[in-house]
């Protein structure tokens, strides 16, 4: 009997070992080398241009663009009226001319980086090239007066004379389009005529700036002196206001400054943002009193000398203190100041509408911000503290009298976009979600509704242009074609009376467009995550005028790259369609069992699901190469470019609203694909994704097994009020005396710390002044108090995006998932894949 039991036990052990071996062999081996091949630095070498970015010119419907392939960069000039595309110049000839002039060698594939400026009625281009030749530095600030204090001891003076400083020689060159050579204009460096602190009037007659929290001005002559030498003692500047103080001043500001730089810069000229009347006679400034807001701090422990303290005002949800906005009008000729008549007793935010910048002016050095109206009116919106009410108003620029034109009110929150003023300011186009879908509405100048322009179960997105003569609106929209992914954006036109809706760039693709100011032509870039990006020129009727480019992905494909796979599944309600993208290892083996990792970002202002082909630093397929199936997917309460219901699904439940969908989608994918191991589901995300990934681990602790949560707003009661109060909600409470307070209550991740069962890594930058590191530290504190093991990492000296430590963080994340899902831990003290990429000196 004992012998029989021993044999049975031996069989059980052998069977267990066999099963273990089978299970181990079925798990992918971490492929760090494959992931390293697709680092940001490596991708820059093999993928170049993927879209056409037109630089529209002022003369005709023309634009130029640069497009780079593995054969180098080419520059093109497109004339849409003629339907022609020609090279801006011959690369080989340009290389020859540059070599002859600068004495530096160039060839057709290796030209310098250009920054073109079209001149001479757009018949020529000018640009600068820096050569390797060293020349004496020209000191433009040197006093031209003769030095009458020369030492009598000339020998001593000569011995004390320093060698002149050297710099690389600069060539300012001109090329006449179609010409046969370059002309050297001069050897001056980039002209710094526009100082950062200068707000120059449209007619260049006066320059405004901030100094010691007050508004100052100087005339053009003195500004030109300042351009030449900021410390010129003969500069005459005038102080306009005297009541400016810190956090209730005129321009300036100290965002991002620490206690040392704040002291160093306190007396310097600083910028002031505002809006000019088109005739340069008025300057409109939005001043805000933030003195009552409480301070927040971050400490940079890796500053140059001693650690530095950064102090800034930060409004947290539910706090009674609030910034009090006001709109001030400065009259330039009289130097008087008056206020627009606002109710300063209520808590509201103010946004002034500005005139849109024409695309043909984007390359101009001088682009003052102008008021929307040319007729002495200030159009602005006012939004209530609870974001449920938005008013569109107009104020008289001379009297300050205010009239409300349009009122919007919802039980969740009102989203708004800039209004459009046209037809000699007799008509207004407004964007609104009042019927549950985003659409455009036509009003007269007095705020009377004329008609709804767009309507139906789709999302009208952005205003593009209006043809006043034909009374046609151009706009982008999502979800018009029901059989397509609703996130695919297309360009449409429609008559202002609501008839004649037409898709101008049809196709089962996501598109991005750039329309000429004339509204007659547009550049159409289109792709999906699994197609090669293409670009074309179309007319305002949607006809293809020219095929422009097709991205060169040859070098990328030669690495073994494979496109990701879009998918469509159901939300946890079994009704709502959700859309996602699956990224697999390029050496994918369907016989293996892969852990499933979800990349999440809850929005609600966007969803982290790619719709167009792109190569970016955060490519999800790069993590997949380690040995995982990585997915991104939408969730109810996510992307705003669907219905208002979909977008506002999480209102009032900002922690848990998307988690059931994340879980259910993973289950559906595992049911469909045998290669997904549903027992190994991981999750990661940054910012809101850091918050969401930790929440998933705590709400569904038996389902999500591993998470890497970075820069997460785990405690939204200490995140900024705009985001939290908007998307979660804040309750306005009025007592018997009419005093209004605001009640805010939201579930926090740390209250569920005791639920943790899986492996969690928390990461934060220690000078993150967006999502304060205190949110992550509070989460760590709660886990410690709950007697939980977890991992924690501080990124020293890093802001919200981790900056120079982004690559380090990628490998930290790869290590964590490899250790806990693939059973292989990186134990070498060196980040080997990062070190291999470094040149040896």
Q: Can you give the CATH number for the domain in which 253 is found?
A: 2.140.10.30
CATH of the domain at 701: 3.40.50.1820
pLDDT for the residue numbered 616: 74
Q: Are residues 607 and 710 in the same domain?
A: yes
Evaluated on CA atoms 309, 310, 315, 316, the torsion sign reads negative
C-alpha–C-alpha distance, residues 379 and 429, integer Å? 13
Per-chain mean pLDDT for the chain:
91
Contact assessment for residue 560 and residue 587, using Cβ atoms and an 8 Å cutoff:
yes
Query: Which H or E run contains 781?
Result: helix 773-785
Give CA–CA dist 240/612, Å, rounded.
51
Q: How far is CA 815 from CA 24, 759, 762, 808, in A?
A: 18, 13, 14, 11
Please indicate, yes or no, whether residues 228 and 315 belong to a single structural domain of this protein.
yes
Whether residues 132 and 246 share a domain: the answer is no
Which of 356, 373, 392 is the C-terminal boundary of a domain?
356
Q: How far apart are CA 258 and CA 260, in angstroms?
A: 5
pLDDT at 191: 64
Phi, psi of 674, deg, nearest 5: -65, -20
**What is the CA 295 to chain-centroid distance, rounded?**
26
pLDDT category of residue 239 using cuts at 50, 70 and 90 = very high
Per-residue pLDDT tens digits for 462-481:
999 999 999 999 999 999 99
Together in a domain, 71 and 34: no
Residue 674 burial (10 A CB sphere; 0-12, 13-18, 19+):
exposed
Partners of 248 in beta bridges: 245
Measured CA to CA, the distance from residue 173 to residue 126 in angstroms comes to 6
Q: Which residues pair with 354 in a beta bridge?
A: 371
Q: How far apart are CA 64 and CA 86, in angstroms?
A: 10
Share of the chain above pLDDT 70, in %: 93
Query: pLDDT digit string (tens) for 508-521?
Result: 999 999 999 999 99
Same domain, 176 and 226: no
- As a whole number of angstroms, the distance between CA 28 and CA 823 comes to 10
Strands of 196-271 (E only): list them: 199-200, 206-211, 214-219, 238-239
Q: Looking at the domain assignment, is residue 504 inside a domain? A: no
174 domain-assigned: yes
pLDDT at 366: 80
Distance between CA atoms of residues 77 and 54, nearest Å: 10
Domain boundary among 321, 356, 391: 356
Question: Could you tell me how many helices (H) and strands (E) the chain has, helices first?
Answer: 16, 44
431 beta partners: 440
- pLDDT digit string, tens, across residues 192-230: 556 789 999 999 999 999 999 999 999 999 999 998 888
Q: Which helix (H) or strand (E) holds 23?
A: helix 2-25
Report the distance separating Cα 383 and Cα 413, nearest Å.
10
Mean pLDDT in residue range 51-66: 95
Instruction: Count other C-beta atoms under 10 Å from residue 288's C-beta.
Output: 17
Q: Is the pLDDT of residue 159 over 90?
A: no
pLDDT on residue 163: 77
Whether residue 817 is preceded by a cis peptide bond, meaning omega within 30 degrees of 0, is: no
Whether 390 is covered by a domain: the verdict is no
- Of 127, 123, 192, whose CA–CA distance to 365 is shortest? 192
Q: Residue 45 belongs to what H/E stretch?
A: helix 40-46
- On whether residue 148 sits in a domain, the answer given is no
Query: What is the Rg, in whole angstroms, of the alpha carbon atoms belonging to the chain?
Result: 31
Three-class secondary structure assignment of 689-737: HHHHHHHHHHHCCCCEEEEEEECCCCCHHHCCHHHHHHHCCCEEEECCC
Strand partners, 539: 521
Q: Which domain holds residue 124?
A: 55-139+164-186
Residue labelled with tokens 């663009």: 65
Q: Per-residue pLDDT averaged across 74-91, rounded?
A: 97
Quote the pLDDT of residue 675: 97
For residue 446, is it within any domain? no
The strand pairing partners of 311, in sequence order, are 297
Q: Which of 477, 479, 501, 480 is nearest to 491 (CA)?
A: 477
**What is the rounded (10 degree) CA torsion for 437, 522, 610, 814?**
-150
Residue 32 has phi, psi (to 5 degrees) of -65, -35
In a domain, residue 464? The reply is no
Q: Are 527 and 612 in contact (CB under 8 A)?
A: yes
The Cα–Cα gap between 607 and 487 comes to 10
User: 3-class SS at 6?
Assistant: helix
Note whether 573 and 606 are same-domain residues.
yes
Structure tokens at 353: 């509408």
* 586-609 tens-digit pLDDT: 999 999 999 999 999 988 888 889
Containing H/E element for 276? Answer: strand 275-276
Q: Is the pTM of this model over 0.75?
A: yes
Domain finish residue from 331, 356, 381 = 356
Verify that 134 and 216 share a domain, yes or no: no
* 106 and 60 within one domain: yes
Residue 498 in domain: no
Integer Cα distance of 520 and 493 in angstroms? 12
- Closest alpha carbon to 755 in 686, 807, 695, 668: 695
d(C-alpha 166, C-alpha 133), whole Å = 10
Residues 255 and 118 in one domain: no
Same domain, yes or no: 758 and 683: yes
Q: Are residues 252 and 276 in the same domain?
A: yes
**pLDDT exceeds cutoff 90 at 436:** yes
Q: List CB contacts of 552: < 8 A, sequence separation 6 or more.
A: 48, 49, 69, 70, 71
- Confidence band of 190 (pLDDT split at 50, 70, 90): confident
The beta strands (E) that lie in 528-587 are given as: 534-539, 544-550, 565-570, 577-583
**How far apart are alpha carbons 452 and 641 in whole angstroms?**
19
Residue 798: both structure tokens together: 């890093």
Distance CA 501, CA 493 (A): 6
Q: What is the mean pLDDT of residues 76-84?
A: 97
State how many domains the chain has.
3
Q: Residue 247: pLDDT above 70?
A: yes
Q: Tell me the C-alpha distance between 431 and 420, whole Å.
A: 9
Is 3 inside any structural domain? no
Residue with tokens 């509408």: 353
Q: Where are the beta strands (DSSP E) in 739-809?
A: 740-743, 759-765, 791-795
Which of the listed ranges 258-267, 733-742, 793-802 does the model predict with the highest average pLDDT? 793-802
**pLDDT at 838 (0 to 100):** 77
pLDDT band, residue 11 (cuts 50/70/90): very low
How big is the CA angle at 781 (ends 777 and 782), to the nearest 5 degrees?
A: 120
Say how far apart CA 803 and CA 601 lie, in whole Å: 19
Q: Name residues whose C-beta falls within 8 Å of residue 526's C-beta, 6 or more positions apart in sequence.
A: 505, 507, 509, 510, 511, 512, 533, 534, 535, 536, 612
Are 87 and 224 contained in the same domain?
no
Among 424, 411, 369, 414, CA closest to 392: 414
The CA distance from 821 to 29, in Å, is 10
User: Does residue 774 sit in helix, strand or coil?
Assistant: helix
Q: Minimal CA–CA distance to 479: which of 491, 471, 489?
A: 489
Q: What is the pLDDT of residues 276-325, one digit of tens each?
A: 999 999 999 999 999 999 999 999 999 988 999 999 999 999 998 899 99
Cross-strand bridge partners of residue 492:
475, 503
- Round to whole Å and give the CA distance between 217 and 238: 5
Per-residue pLDDT reduced to its tens digit, 94-114: 999 999 999 999 999 999 999
DSSP 8-state class, residue 315: P
Give residue-wise pLDDT tens across range 396-433: 999 999 999 999 999 999 999 999 999 999 999 999 99
Q: Are the CB atoms for 439 and 430 separated by under 8 Å? A: no
pLDDT score for 413 = 95
Kindly report, residue by residue over 503-558, the tens digit of the pLDDT. 999 999 999 999 999 999 999 999 999 999 999 999 999 999 999 999 999 999 99
CA–CA dist 221, 238 (Å, integer): 13
Would you place residue 21 in the very low, low, confident or very high pLDDT band (cuts 50, 70, 90)? very low
Residue in 389, 342, 494, 373 with CA at minimum distance from that of residue 445: 373
HSE at residue 298, side-chain half, CA atoms within 13 A, is 28
């Amino acid at each position: 009997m004992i012998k029989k039991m021993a044999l049975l036990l031996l069989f059980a052990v052998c069977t267990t070992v066999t099963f273990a071996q089978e299970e181990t062999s079925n798990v992918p081996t971490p492929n760090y080398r494959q992931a390293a091949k697709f680092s940001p630095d490596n991708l820059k070498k093999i993928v170049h241009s993927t879209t056409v970015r037109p630089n529209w010119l002022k003369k005709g419907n023309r634009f130029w663009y640069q497009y780079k392939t593995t054969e180098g960069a080419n520059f093109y000039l497109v004339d849409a009226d003629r339907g022609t595309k020609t090279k801006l110049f011959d690369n080989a000839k340009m290389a020859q001319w540059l070599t002859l002039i600068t004495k530096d060698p160039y060839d057709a594939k290796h030209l310098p980086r250009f920054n073109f400026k079209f001149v001479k009625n757009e018949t020529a281009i000018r640009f600068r090239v820096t050569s390797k030749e060293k020349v004496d530095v020209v000191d433009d600030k040197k006093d031209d007066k003769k030095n009458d204090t020369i030492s009598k001891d000339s020998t001593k003076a000569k011995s004390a004379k320093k060698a002149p400083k050297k710099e690389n020689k600069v060539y300012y060159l001109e090329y006449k389009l179609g010409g046969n050579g370059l002309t050297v204009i001069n050897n001056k460096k980039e002209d710094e005529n526009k100082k950062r602190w200068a707000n120059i009037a449209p007619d260049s007659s006066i320059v405004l700036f901030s100094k010691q929290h007050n508004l100052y001005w100087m005339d053009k002559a003195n500004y030109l002196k300042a351009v030449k030498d900021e410390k010129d003692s003969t500069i005459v500047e005038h102080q306009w206001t005297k009541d400016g103080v810190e956090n209730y001043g005129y321009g300036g500001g100290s965002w991002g400054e620490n206690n040392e730089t704040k002291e160093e810069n306190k007396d310097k000229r600083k910028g002031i943002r505002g809006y000019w009347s088109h005739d340069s006679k008025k300057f409109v400034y939005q001043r805000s009193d933030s003195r009552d807001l409480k301070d927040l701090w971050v400490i940079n422990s890796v500053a140059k000398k001693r650690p530095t303290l950064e102090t800034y005002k930060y409004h947290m949800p539910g706090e009674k203190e609030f910034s009090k906005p006001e709109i001030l009008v400065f009259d330039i000729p009289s130097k008087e100041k008056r206020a627009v008549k606002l109710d300063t007793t209520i808590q509201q935010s103010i946004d002034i509408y500005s005139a849109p910048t024409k695309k043909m002016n984007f390359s101009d050095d001088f682009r003052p911000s102008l008021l929307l109206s040319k007729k002495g009116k200030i159009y602005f919106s006012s939004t209530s503290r609870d974001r449920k009410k938005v008013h569109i108003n107009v104020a008289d620029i001379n009297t300050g009298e205010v009239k409300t034109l349009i009122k919007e009110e919802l039980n969740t929150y009102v989203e708004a976009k800039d209004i459009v003023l046209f037809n000699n300011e007799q008509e207004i186009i407004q964007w609104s979600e009042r019927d549950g879908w985003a659409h455009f509405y036509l009003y007269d100048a007095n705020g009377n509704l004329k008609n709804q322009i767009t309507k139906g179960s789709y999302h009208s997105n952005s205003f593009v242009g209006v043809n006043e003569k034909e009374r046609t609106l151009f706009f982008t929209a999502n979800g018009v074609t029901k059989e397509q992914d609703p996130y695919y954006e297309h360009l449409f036109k429609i008559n202002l009376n609501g008839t004649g809706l037409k898709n101008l760039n049809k196709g089962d693709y996501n598109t991005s467009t750039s329309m000429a100011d004339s509204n007659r032509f547009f550049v159409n870039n289109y792709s999906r995550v699994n197609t090669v990006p293409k670009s074309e020129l179309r007319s305002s009727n949607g006809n293809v005028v020219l095929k422009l480019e097709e991205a060169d992905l040859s070098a990328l494909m030669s690495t073994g790259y494979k496109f990701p796979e879009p998918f469509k599944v159901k939300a946890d309600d079994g009704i709502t369609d959700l859309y996602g993208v699956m990224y697999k290892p390029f050496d994918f083996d369907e016989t293996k069992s892969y852990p499933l990792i979800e990349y999440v970002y809850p929005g609600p202002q966007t969803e982290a699901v790619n719709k167009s082909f792109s190569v970016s630093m955060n490519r999800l397929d790069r993590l997949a190469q380690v040995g995982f199936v990585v997915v991104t997917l939408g969730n109810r309460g996510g992307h705003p470019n669907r219905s208002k219901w979909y977008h506002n699904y999480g209102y009032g439940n900002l922690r848990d609203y998307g988690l059931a969908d994340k879980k259910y989608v993973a289950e559906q994918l595992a049911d469909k694909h045998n290669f997904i191991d549903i027992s190994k589901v991981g999750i990661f995300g940054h910012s809101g994704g850091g918050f969401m990934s930790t929440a998933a681990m705590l709400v569904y602790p038996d389902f999500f097994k591993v998470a890497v949560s970075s820069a997460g707003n785990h405690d939204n009661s200490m995140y900024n009020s705009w985001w939290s109060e908007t998307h979660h909600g804040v309750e306005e409470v009025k007592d018997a005396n009419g005093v209004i307070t605001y009640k805010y209550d939201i579930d926090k991740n740390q209250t569920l710390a005791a639920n943790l069962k899986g492996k969690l890594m928390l990461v934060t930058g220690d000078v993150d002044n967006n999502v304060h590191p205190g949110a992550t530290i509070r989460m760590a504190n709660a886990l410690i108090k709950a007697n939980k093991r977890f991992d924690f990492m501080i990124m020293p000296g890093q802001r919200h995006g981790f900056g120079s430590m982004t690559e380090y963080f990628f490998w930290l994340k790869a290590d964590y998932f490899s250790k806990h899902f693939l059973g292989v831990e990186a134990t070498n003290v060196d980040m080997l894949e990062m070190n291999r990429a470094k040149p040896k000196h």
